[in-house]
Amino acid sequence: MKNEKLIKEYLARAEEIIGERTPAEIAHDEVVVDSLNQGHPIEVALAAAAAKHPAEAIQWDDGNINDIAAHYDYLKEHARIMRKILKQKRR
C-alpha cells in the first residue's frame, strides 16, 4: 500500500529529526506542545514545562528562541500527524 510506505518514510524521517528522547524529555515536550496548542507563546509554553519538569528546563534567549520555537512547531505538527495516523489505523 502506498499509504503504508509514506507512513514508514515519514516516521523514519521524524525519528531522524526528533532523535532519541528520555521519558522525562518527552513529558517536558508534551507540556510545551500542549501549551502551544492552547495558544500560548513559546516563552510561556517553555515556562509551563519548566515548572512541571525543572530538570528538563530549556535555557533560551533572544538568539536561540526562534530555533526552539521552530523545533516545537515541528513537534506540534508531528503530534497532529501521529493522531491522524493512529485514527486511520483504527479504522
Alpha helices, DSSP H, located in 1-91:
2-18, 23-37, 42-52, 65-90
- Residue 15 domain-assigned (yes or no): no
- Where is average pLDDT lowest: 2-11, 42-51, 63-72, 74-83? 2-11
- Residue 13 domain-assigned (yes or no): no
pLDDT tens digits for 5-43? Answer: 989 999 999 999 999 999 999 999 999 999 999 999 999
Q: Report the number of distinct structural domains present in the chain.
A: 1
pLDDT tens digits for 51-64? Answer: 999 999 999 999 99
Cell numbers standing for residue 70: 521552530
Residue 40: give the domain boundaries: 22-90
Higher per-residue confidence, 87 vs 42 = 42
Q: What are phi and psi of 60, to 5 degrees?
A: -135, 160
Query: What is the reported pTM?
Result: 0.87
- How far apart CA 77 and CA 74 sit, in angstroms, is 5
